[in-house]
Structure 1
Amino acid sequence: MQKKHLARQLKVLLNYVLGPLLFIVLVYIIYKKVETQPDLPQKLEVLKSSFSSKNIWKIVSLFLLLCLNWSIEARKWQLLMRPVEKVNFITAIKAILSGLALSLFLPNGFGEYPARALYMKEGNRLRSVALNVAGSMAQLIVTLVVGTTSLIYLKTFAWPKFEPLEGLSVLWLNGIISMIILGTLILLITYFRLSWLTRLAEKIPFMLRYKYLIENVEAFHWKELTRILGLSFIRFIVFAVQYMVVLHLFEVKIDAVDAFCTTSVLFLFLAILPTIPFADVGIRGQAGTQLFGLITPDAFGVIATIAVIWFVNLIIPSAAGSLFLLGIKLFKRGDKQNNKKS
C-alpha cells in the first residue's frame, strides 16, 4: 500500500507540478531569445512596414508553408512509429511541436526524442527512439545531398570570383566538399541497410538486453525508407521556399536559383556545425550573412529574413508545443493494460 501511495504521489508530482514548471521555463526561454535579438527595434519597424495589403499573399503563403512543413514532419513521424504503435495525425502534430519546444534545451535538436516519446504508450517510449533516429537520418541525407549539390553549383557558376569566407580558401572548400560527399555516401548506405545493421547488432552479447529497443527498425523495407526520404525531401523544399518568400517580402535582390542554392548551403552548414540552443539564431545570422553576402549586398534584408524565418518556424511552433507539453500526462491510467493487450 505504501508503494502504491508513493507511486500515486510521483504521478501527481510529474503530471501537475513538473508540467507547469516546464511550460514556464519554455516560455521564459522563448522570451529571452526574442529580447536578446540584435537590432530588434529596426527589425520590428521593417516587419511593420511589410504588413501591407500588397504583401498579404506573401505573409499568408509563409504561414501556409509553415503548416505544410510541420504536417509533413508529423506524417513522417506517423510512418516511423507504425512498427511500434499506430498514432493519429493530431497526436503526431502535438508530438512534433512538443519536440521542437523541448529542443530549445539541448543542442542539435536532441530534445525532440524524449518529447516525442512522451506521446507513445509507456511500454513503447524507449522503442520509439531508434525509429526517430531513422527519421533524422533521412532528413540529414536530404540536407547533405541538396546542400552539397547547391554548394558545387554556387562555387562553379555563382562565385566565379570566389573570395575566402573567414579564411576558407578554395582548396579547403574543395576538401570540405569531398569529405561531405564521402560522409553522405556512408550515411546513405547505412540508412538503406538499417535492418541488416540491426540484426548484426542483435548478435552482439552486450546488445541482447537492449534488443527490444532496436528490433522494430528491422520492419522497415527499402520502400518505406524511400517514402520517408521522399517526405524529407518535400519538407526541405518547403523550408527553402519559405526563405525565398521572405527574401522577396523584404525586397532582397537575388536570383531565384541562387537564393534556393544559398539557402540549401545554409541548411547544410547548420546541419554539420554543432549548435547551442541559446546561440542558435546568432549562428544562423552569422552564417547567413556570410553566405548571402557573396551574392547580395543587402545584409539587413538577409538578417531580417533569417530572423523572421527563425521566429515563424521555431518560436511560434515552440510556443504551441509548450502548451501541448503542459497537458501531457507522463503516466496515464490504462497504458499498462493497453500494452498487455497489445
Structure 2
Amino acid sequence: MQSNGFVPQRTYSRTKKIVFWLKAGLLALIISYIIYTLNRQQHDFRSVWTYWQTANWFSVPAFLLLLLTPVNWLLEALKWQILVRRVEPISLKESTQGVLAGLAMGFALPAQLGDTAGRLLSLRSDQRWQGIGAALVSGGMQFFAAIFFGTIALFLQIQRETNGVPLAQWVLFLALVLTLLAGLVAGWQRHWFANSRFRWMRRWEKYWSVASYYTPTELWWAFGVASLRYLTFSLQFYIALALFGIRLPFRESLTGIGLVYLGKTIIPAFNLLSDLGVREATSLWVFGQWQVPAPQILSATLSLWLFNILTPVLAGLFWVWKLKLSNN
C-alpha cells in the first residue's frame, strides 16, 4: 500500500524536474541568442543603455506609453470582473486589486499559480475554488486573442515571402487555425465538458464547472475586452519602437508586433522576472528581417517590460501585503 502511494509522487516530482530543466535550458538559449545577436552587430548592452539615455522621455510617445499602462491593466481587471461575477460579484476597484496582486505573486511563482492565487485571495466567497475556473477562462480568452491576431500576422508574413513560403510557416499557420477552431468548439460545447462522464474530467469538475454557467454574451464580452487589451499593448509596442527611432511601414510593424506576441504566447517562459527575455529574443529574430539594429529593439522591448510589468508589479506588492494582513 505504501509503495502504491509513493510511486505517483515520484513520477510527479520527476516530471516537475524535467519541465524545470527544459525551461532553464530554453532560458539559457534565449539569453545566448540575445548576446550572440548583439555581438554579431558589434554591439553590447552598453549600446542599449546609450539608447535609453538619449531617448526623449518627455516626448508625446513616452507620455502615451506611460498613459496606456493603466489602460492595459484596467482592461484586464474588467475582463476578470466580467468572468468572476459568476463566483462573486466584485467592483472594478476590487477586480483591479486582485489582478495587481496576482501579477505581483506571479512575478516569481511557477506557471499561472501566482496570478491565480492573488486573484482568489482577493475574493470573499466561500467558493474560491470555482474562481480557478474563472481565472482559467480569463487566461484562455487572452491566449485566444493572441492566437487570433497572431494568425493574422503570420498570414501577412506568408504573403510577403517572395522566395517561397517555408514549410514550417505553413505548418504553424495550420496549427494556429486548428487551435482557433478547437477554442470555438470548446466554447460552444462548454456544457458538455462540464457534465462529462469521463472520470479524469470529473476529477477537476469543481474547479472549472463555472465555465458552463457563462452565457454566450458574457464570453463574447470577455473576448472583446481581451482583444481590446491586446490592441492596447500592441499600440504600446508600436509607440516604443517609434520612441527609439524604429519607423517601419505600418504593414511591417503590424506583422512584426503580431509575430512577437505570438512567439511570447506559445514559447514557454521560465517565469523568472515574468516573461523577460522571451519577448526580447523573439523581437530580435522577427525584426531582424528588416535589419533593425539590435540595441534599438532591446531598448523598446525592455521599456515595455518596465512600463507594463515591473511598474504594475510594484503597485501589486502593496495589495499582496494588504491581503496577507487581512488573512492574519
Specify which of 106, 114, 122 is matched with residue 111 of structure 1.
114
Q: Which amino acid aligns with 1:102?
A: M
**Greater CA deviation, 322-331 or 263-272?**
322-331
Q: Tell me, which stretches of 5 or more residues in structure 1 are unaligned?
A: 1-36, 163-168, 334-342
1:319 equivalent in structure 2: 314
Aligned partners of 1:249, 1:319: CA distance in 2, in Å?
Answer: 24
2:293 equivalent in structure 1: 298
CA displacement 1:67-99 (0-9 Å, x = unmatched): 111001101100111111111111111111111
CA contact (8 A) 2:78 2:92 kept: yes
1:142 equivalent in structure 2: 145
Change (3 A) 1:108 1:156: farther
Aligned partners of 1:150, 1:298: CA distance in 2, in Å?
Answer: 22
Deviation at 1:43, TM superposition (A): 3.3
Change (3 A) 1:154 1:107: farther
Specify which of 232, 236, 243 is matched with residue 242 of structure 1.
236
Trace 1:176-255 onto structure 2 (pairs within 5 A).
176-200=172-196, 203-204=197-198, 211-255=205-249
Aligned partners of 1:118, 1:236: CA distance in 2, in Å?
Answer: 26
CA contact (8 A) 2:51 2:295 kept: no
Q: Percent identity?
A: 21
Q: Which amino acid aligns with 1:217?
A: A
Aligned partners of 2:201, 2:279: CA distance in 1, in Å?
Answer: 39
Deviation at 1:113, TM superposition (A): 0.8
Change (3 A) 1:149 1:206: closer
Q: Tell me, which stretches of 5 or more residues in structure 2 are unaligned?
A: 1-33, 36-43
Change (3 A) 1:181 1:86: same
Trace 1:65-144 onto structure 2 (pairs within 5 A).
65-121=68-124, 123-144=126-147
Aligned partners of 1:208, 1:291: CA distance in 2, in Å?
Answer: 42
CA contact (8 A) 1:106 1:277 kept: yes
Deviation at 1:66, TM superposition (A): 0.9
Change (3 A) 1:291 1:207: closer
Aligned partners of 2:312, 2:319: CA distance in 1, in Å?
Answer: 11
Aligned partners of 2:324, 2:157: CA distance in 1, in Å?
Answer: 49
Deviation at 1:64, TM superposition (A): 1.5
Determine whether 1:48 maps to 2:50: no
| TM-score w.r.t. length of structure 1 | 0.77
Aligned partners of 2:80, 2:73: CA distance in 1, in Å?
Answer: 10
Specify which of 139, 153, 170 is matched with residue 166 of structure 2.
170
Aligned partners of 1:180, 1:210: CA distance in 2, in Å?
Answer: 27
Aligned partners of 1:313, 1:52: CA distance in 2, in Å?
Answer: 16
Determine whether 1:59 maps to 2:62: yes
CA contact (8 A) 1:58 1:246 kept: yes
Aligned partners of 1:207, 1:155: CA distance in 2, in Å?
Answer: 38
CA contact (8 A) 2:99 2:115 kept: yes
1:337 equivalent in structure 2: none
Deviation at 1:237, TM superposition (A): 0.4
| TM-score w.r.t. length of structure 2 | 0.80
Q: Which amino acid aligns with 1:302?
A: I
Deviation at 1:193, TM superposition (A): 2.6
CA displacement 1:301-324 (0-9 Å, x = unmatched): 111111110111111111111121
Deviation at 1:128, TM superposition (A): 0.3
CA contact (8 A) 1:254 1:296 kept: no
CA contact (8 A) 1:69 1:235 kept: yes
Aligned partners of 1:99, 1:155: CA distance in 2, in Å?
Answer: 37
Tell me the secondary structure at the aligned position of residue 108 of structure 2: coil
CA contact (8 A) 1:151 1:262 kept: no
Superposition CA RMSD, Å: 2.4
Aligned partners of 1:330, 1:192: CA distance in 2, in Å?
Answer: 42
CA contact (8 A) 1:62 1:245 kept: yes
Change (3 A) 1:310 1:301: same
Q: Which amino acid aligns with 2:282?
A: A
